[in-house]
Structures are given as C-alpha cells and as structure tokens.
C-alpha cells in the first residue's frame, strides 16, 4: 500500500501521461481523418476517429485524476465510476461505427486508396501507443484505477489499429483489391467490444 506522498506522485505521473496523450492524439486525429477521407479509406478514417476517442478519454482522465489530487480518494470514487463508463461507451461507439461503415462498403463494393501520409502516421503510432499503454497499465495497477486501465486499453487498441492500418495500406498498395480496406477495419472490432464490456462492468480493476 503506497503512502500519501507516493500515491500523489503516481497520480501526477498519470496526469503527465494524459497530457502527452492529448498532444499526440491531436496530431494523429488530424492526419488520420484528413488522409482517410481524402483516400476514401475506412480503416484509416476509423484510426483517426479512434484518436478522437483517445483525446476524449484523456480529457476525462485528467478530470478524474485532478479530482483525486484536489479532494482525495473518497471524492474521486464517483468520478472513477463515471470515467470508466464513458470510456466503455466510447469504445462501443467506435466498434459500431466500424461495423456499420464496413458493411456499407462491402455492400456497395467500394474500397479505399493508398495513402502515404496514413502509412507513415500508422508506422510511427505503433511504438508511441506501446509506450503510452504500458506506462498507463503500470500506473493503473499501482493506483487500482479501472478508468486509467480503460484508457490504457484504448491506447493499446490504437496501437493494434495502427498495425491493421499498416497491413491494410501495404496490401492496398501491392494488391489493389477493393475489399481489403473494409475487411481489415473489422479486424479490431472484437477487441474493441471485449474491452468496452470490461470497462462497462462494475467489478474491481484487475491486476495486469
């Protein structure tokens, strides 16, 4: 059990990570959505939207952690529950968007084009998201915070989605099949739903 000073230091470190996340997500969302729309790529656009969800989640976490710093654990418990629910709802929303958009693209026989900007962005995002997710998971375990764990999982999801984008764009460039983009976008949905259900659950935060 950490003492008050140690816990405060951990919370401040978590806040710093959230501000770092905010800075990166602004760049990632702008480039991801912009290049995705320009190329007509669902997987790249979903990647950009996931960045917006990360941005919202980081804002929620900054609020939740600031509540605890200012008012203590007792006042933070309500914020913890709400923040976890918000994170879960955002993950469900992204999964629904991806499924709906992929179904529409497969039904109409439309796919996306190759995007060099999107490829470079997704390649860079993989190590960035790995770094953020591992640090957040460690802090979530130390602080026993489900909302921080949910945010860490969203960062991890973003990293996996970046990997899917890399594979999809590389395949689009080399093979050129129209169905690659919508099919690739579905690869992340199961993971999104599972983690959204976990975030929405009321049980205690699990150890990593």
Domains of the chain by start residue, with CATH? 4-200 (1.20.1510.10)
pLDDT at position 75, please?
55
Q: Which among 172, 190, 175, 197 has a CA at the least distance from the CA of 42?
A: 172
* Burial call 36-70: b when 16+ CB within 10 Å, e when fewer: beebebbbbbbbbbbbbbbbebbebbbebbebbee
- Predicted confidence at residue 150, as pLDDT, reads 77
pLDDT at residue number 81? 72
Note the Cα 100 to chain centre separation in Å: 19
pLDDT tens-place values along the chain, 208 residues long: 446 778 888 888 999 999 999 999 999 999 999 999 998 888 888 888 888 878 887 887 888 788 777 766 665 566 667 767 777 788 788 788 888 888 888 888 777 788 999 999 999 999 999 999 999 999 989 888 777 887 888 788 788 888 888 988 888 888 877 788 888 888 878 777 877 887 777 544 444 4
Query: What's the chain's Rg over C-alpha atoms?
Result: 18
Q: Are 98 and 189 in contact (CB under 8 A)?
A: yes
Position 156 scores a pLDDT of 84
Residue 54: closest CA among 90, 95, 84: 90
């Amino acid at each position: 059990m950490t003492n008050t000073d140690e816990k405060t230091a951990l919370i401040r470190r978590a806040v710093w990570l959230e501000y770092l996340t905010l800075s990166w997500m602004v760049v990632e969302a702008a480039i991801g959505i912009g290049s995705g729309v320009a190329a007509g790529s669902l997987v790249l656009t979903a990647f950009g939207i996931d960045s917006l969800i990360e941005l919202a989640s980081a804002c929620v976490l900054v609020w939740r952690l600031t509540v605890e710093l200012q008012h203590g654990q007792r006042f933070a418990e309500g914020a913890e529950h709400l923040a976890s629910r918000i994170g879960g709802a955002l993950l469900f929303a992204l999964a629904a968007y991806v499924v709906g958009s992929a179904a529409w693209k497969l039904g109409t026989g439309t796919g996306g084009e190759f995007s060099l900007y999107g490829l470079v962005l997704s390649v860079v995002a993989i190590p960035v998201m790995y770094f953020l997710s591992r640090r957040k998971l460690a802090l979530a375990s130390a602080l026993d915070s489900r909302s921080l764990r949910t945010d860490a999982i969203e960062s991890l999801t973003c990293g996996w989605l970046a990997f899917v984008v890399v594979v999809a764009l590389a395949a689009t460039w080399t093979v050129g099949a129209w169905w690659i983009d919508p099919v690739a976008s579905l690869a992340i949905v199961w993971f999104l739903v599972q983690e959204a259900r976990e975030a929405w659950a009321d049980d205690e935060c699990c150890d990593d």
